[in-house]
């Protein structure tokens, strides 16, 4: 089934390929498909692969066409399992390259992937635990920067939906098949059967693609997100079925019809019919990618920015936009105004501020980046009202600088050491007793405040976001149209709620606000003094 779907895709679809000719730095060579006894899988370098392709006599384009490799997307699982997984480390790199990696020592999920790769007639597999030297920080960072290319150029990406840990395979023995059937004893009445007779009626669960997807531990993990968003051809091994998915269709084994799922970001970005790729990508980033990605879980919290770096690099390359900690620098005046819905766990203003002063080791992202929250959904939902509605920046000299980590090529899309947003802005104190909204929406004539901390759990301060130390920094204005009894247009001011970071002019972002120009705040902003502000 997989082979025929892949063949169908290769023959019929003309999926976009970026950087044809890209070969990962290392690949696992799993043997020739025509050999009866495949050799032990062995780690090969890009150089070796190129030599085997007679690189010297062929062009880069044909090499890319020739080299078909599969990439694996899976969960490492709990730390104890991840620890036991067979990995390439500095001391095993040479052995993995010369003697190979023997099957029994491989983790079950990689072993199963090797079986699939061979059955598909492919010779190479890319899998992070073996193709990246795991205890070499520099190698890890450099390879993480290439991850987007690795997945977007893979001939097929194998997704292990069925296993929540690397120690569990996804092929044999299809144990979870039993979950599809549930037997329920139902008394039969008023039917053509004799009254009182009983029979077994089996209800089949509708285990379709989305159900396999949503129930998987895999779909909740951070790293797997871009692995699939960037892949153009995927085979999902779910607990109940195998699903093939490409930009054109989705096919679930055993079904007679084909559906569609979602287009890959590459397809969206380079589709000739996309009139304005830059704004399409920017919208996609704000409306689809970040809201989904910001809820994903990480074993290592610092991976939050690197694990979406492949997509960010792609967006940056296509649009030419600068990038800083998850925000696009030409649009900082909008991107800074992300919003997080109420915290699922109680987080007081004090603990929020505490969490914004991290030590060097646990620095994830600056306070102005949505990436700073561990697993909280962040989005620009409220700003939907202002998309294309005369958004005007109300700040001067707005710019972001991030402190990159030096590697072979310092990667703006990877992990960072710190970051600061500088601007000249007008600020005001927030009025005592001001209420914070829990749901972001614009309402005509209303002052709206969306705090990053849990205003409902604040005891006496319940529902109030007023605090002597919270200030407002005006960032922009827009015209909103409200359709109620009659259409109303209103000019509104929006900006950040900020809190002193301890030294003059330095602040943390702790929320956003959105007020009518005609409000008390709006009037006061007009005469407020301009101040230099640094957001940490």
Which of 2, 6, 9, 122 forms a contact with Zn ion (CB under 5 A)? 9
Nearer to Zn ion, 244 or 321 (CB): 244
Only segment of 32-40, 239-247, 289-297, 321-329 that touches Zn ion (CB under 5 A): 239-247
Q: At a CB cut-off of 8 Å and minimum separation 6, what does 239 contact?
A: 161, 162, 176, 179, 207, 212, 215, 216
Q: In 3D, which of 401, 374, 380, 201 has the Cα closest to residue 304? A: 374
Least separation in angstroms between CB 13 and Zn ion: 3
Nearer to Zn ion, 102 or 260 (CB): 260
Q: What is the DSSP string of 401-423?
A: EEEEPPSSS--TTS-EEEEEEEE
- Residue 139 phi, psi (nearest 5): -60, -40
Cα–Cα dist 334/387, whole Å: 9
Only segment of 11-19, 306-314, 465-473, 479-487 that touches Zn ion (CB under 5 A): 11-19
Instruction: Name 408's bridge partners.
Output: none
Only segment of 154-162, 200-208, 240-248, 522-530 that touches Zn ion (CB under 5 A): 240-248
Question: Counting contacts by CB under 5 A, is residue 336 touching Zn ion?
Answer: no
- Residue 208 phi, psi (nearest 5): -95, -175
Least separation in angstroms between CB 245 and Zn ion: 9
Cα–Cα dist 374/368, whole Å: 14
Least separation in angstroms between CB 69 and Zn ion: 17
Least separation in angstroms between CB 12 and Zn ion: 7
Cα–Cα dist 153/21, whole Å: 8
Cα–Cα dist 99/105, whole Å: 13
Least separation in angstroms between CB 7 and Zn ion: 10
Q: Give CA separation, 163 vs 151, 172, 333, in Å.
A: 20, 11, 42
Question: Counting contacts by CB under 5 A, is residue 337 touching Zn ion?
Answer: no
Instruction: Name 401's bridge partners.
Output: 420
Asked if residue 510 lies in contact with residue 484, where contact means CB atoms within 8 angstroms, the answer is no
Residues 290-319 that bind Zn ion (CB under 5 A): none
Least separation in angstroms between CB 243 and Zn ion: 13
Q: At a CB cut-off of 8 Å and minimum separation 6, what does 472 contact?
A: 427, 428, 429, 430, 495, 496, 497, 498, 513, 521
Only segment of 8-16, 222-230, 327-335, 365-373 that touches Zn ion (CB under 5 A): 8-16
Cα–Cα dist 5/244, whole Å: 7
Question: Counting contacts by CB under 5 A, is residue 66 touching Zn ion?
Answer: no
Least separation in angstroms between CB 258 and Zn ion: 11
Only segment of 247-255, 277-285, 326-334, 412-420 that touches Zn ion (CB under 5 A): 247-255
Least separation in angstroms between CB 125 and Zn ion: 21
Residue 326 structure tokens: 């998850």
Only segment of 114-122, 206-214, 248-256, 475-483 that touches Zn ion (CB under 5 A): 248-256
Question: Counting contacts by CB under 5 A, is residue 248 touching Zn ion?
Answer: yes
Say how many residues touch Zn ion, by CB under 5 A: 4
Least separation in angstroms between CB 271 and Zn ion: 14
Only segment of 10-18, 319-327, 351-359, 463-471 that touches Zn ion (CB under 5 A): 10-18
Least separation in angstroms between CB 226 and Zn ion: 20
Q: What angle do CA 161, 286, 430 make, to 5 degrees?
A: 125
Only segment of 5-13, 74-82, 132-140, 457-465 that touches Zn ion (CB under 5 A): 5-13
Residue 104 structure tokens: 């029994």
Question: Counting contacts by CB under 5 A, is residue 6 touching Zn ion?
Answer: no
Residue 51 structure tokens: 């030599």
Least separation in angstroms between CB 249 and Zn ion: 7
Question: Counting contacts by CB under 5 A, is residue 246 touching Zn ion?
Answer: yes
Question: Which parts of 141-197 are beta strand (E)?
Answer: 156-160, 181-187
Nearer to Zn ion, 9 or 129 (CB): 9
Cα–Cα dist 269/282, whole Å: 10
Residues 373-392, one symbol each (x = binds Zn ion by CB under 5 A, - = not), give: --------------------
Nearer to Zn ion, 231 or 319 (CB): 231
Nearer to Zn ion, 171 or 246 (CB): 246
Question: Which parts of 205-315 are beta strand (E)?
Answer: 233-237, 242-246, 250-252
Cα–Cα dist 479/4, whole Å: 53
Residue 358 structure tokens: 């991290």
Nearer to Zn ion, 228 or 319 (CB): 228
Nearer to Zn ion, 267 or 456 (CB): 267
Question: Which parts of 82-170 are beta strand (E)?
Answer: 124-126, 156-160
* DSSP letter, residue 288: I
Nearer to Zn ion, 55 or 261 (CB): 261
Least separation in angstroms between CB 267 and Zn ion: 10
Residues 251-270, one symbol each (x = binds Zn ion by CB under 5 A, - = not), give: --------------------
Question: Counting contacts by CB under 5 A, is residue 13 touching Zn ion?
Answer: yes
Q: Give residues in contact with Zn ion (CB under 5 A).
A: 9, 13, 246, 248
């Amino acid at each position: 089934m997989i082979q025929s779907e892949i063949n169908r895709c290769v023959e019929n679809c003309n999926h976009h390929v970026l950087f044809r000719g890209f070969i990962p730095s290392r690949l696992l060579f799993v043997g020739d498909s025509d050999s009866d006894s495949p050799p032990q899988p062995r780690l090969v370098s890009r150089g070796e692969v190129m030599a085997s392709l007679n690189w010297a006599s062929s062009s880069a384009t044909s090499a890319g066409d020739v080299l078909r490799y599969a990439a694996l997307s899976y969960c490492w699982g709990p730390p104890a399992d991840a620890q036991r997984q067979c990995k390439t480390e500095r001391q095993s790199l040479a052995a993995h390259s010369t003697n190979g990696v023997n099957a029994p020592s491989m983790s079950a999920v990689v072993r199963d992937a090797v079986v699939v790769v061979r059955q598909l007639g492919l010779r190479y597999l890319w899998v992070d635990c073996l193709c990246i030297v795991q205890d070499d920080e520099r190698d890890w960072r450099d390879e993480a920067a290439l991850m987007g290319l690795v997945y977007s150029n893979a001939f097929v990406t194998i997704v292990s939906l069925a296993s929540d840990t690397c120690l569990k395979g996804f092929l044999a023995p299809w144990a979870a098949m039993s979950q599809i059937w549930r037997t329920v004893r139902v008394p039969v009445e008023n039917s053509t059967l004799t009254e009182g007779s009983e029979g077994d009626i089996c209800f089949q669960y509708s285990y379709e693609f989305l159900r396999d997807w949503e129930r998987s531990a895999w779909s909740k993990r951070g790293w797997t997100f871009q692995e699939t968003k960037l892949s153009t051809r995927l085979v999902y091994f779910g607990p109940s079925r195998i699903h093939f998915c490409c930009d054109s269709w989705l096919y679930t084994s055993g079904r007679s019809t084909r559906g569609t799922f979602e287009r890959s970001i590459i397809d969206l970005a380079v589709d000739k019919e996309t009139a304005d790729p830059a704004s399409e990508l920017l919208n996609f980033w704000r409306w689809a990618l970040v809201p989904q990605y910001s809820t994903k879980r990480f074993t290592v919290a610092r991976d939050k920015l690197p694990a979406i770096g492949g997509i960010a690099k792609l967006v940056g390359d296509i649009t030419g936009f600068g990038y800083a900690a998850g925000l696009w620098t030409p649009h900082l005046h909008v991107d800074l105004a992300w919003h997080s819905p109420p915290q699922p766990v109680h987080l007081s203003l004090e603990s929020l501020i505490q969490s914004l002063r991290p030590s060097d080791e646990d620095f994830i992202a600056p306070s102005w980046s949505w990436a700073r929250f561990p697993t909280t959904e962040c989005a620009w939902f409220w700003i939907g009202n202002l998309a294309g509605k005369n958004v005007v920046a109300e700040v001067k000299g707005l710019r972001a600088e991030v402190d990159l980590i030096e590697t072979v090529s310092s990667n703006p899309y990877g992990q960072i050491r710190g970051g600061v947003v500088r601007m000249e802005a007008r600020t005001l104190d927030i009025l005592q007793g001001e209420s914070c909204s829990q749901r972001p929406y614009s309402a005509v004539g209303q002052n709206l405040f969306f705090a990053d901390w849990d205003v409902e759990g604040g005891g006496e301060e319940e529902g109030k976001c007023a605090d002597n130390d919270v200030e407002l920094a005006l960032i922009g204005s827009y015209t909103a149209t409200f359709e109620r009894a009659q259409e109303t247009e209103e000019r509104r001011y929006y900006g950040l709620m900020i809190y002193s970071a301890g030294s003059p002019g330095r602040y943390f972002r702790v929320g956003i606000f959105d007020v009518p120009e005609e409000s008390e705040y709006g009037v006061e902003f007009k005469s407020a003094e301009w101040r230099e502000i640094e957001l940490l």
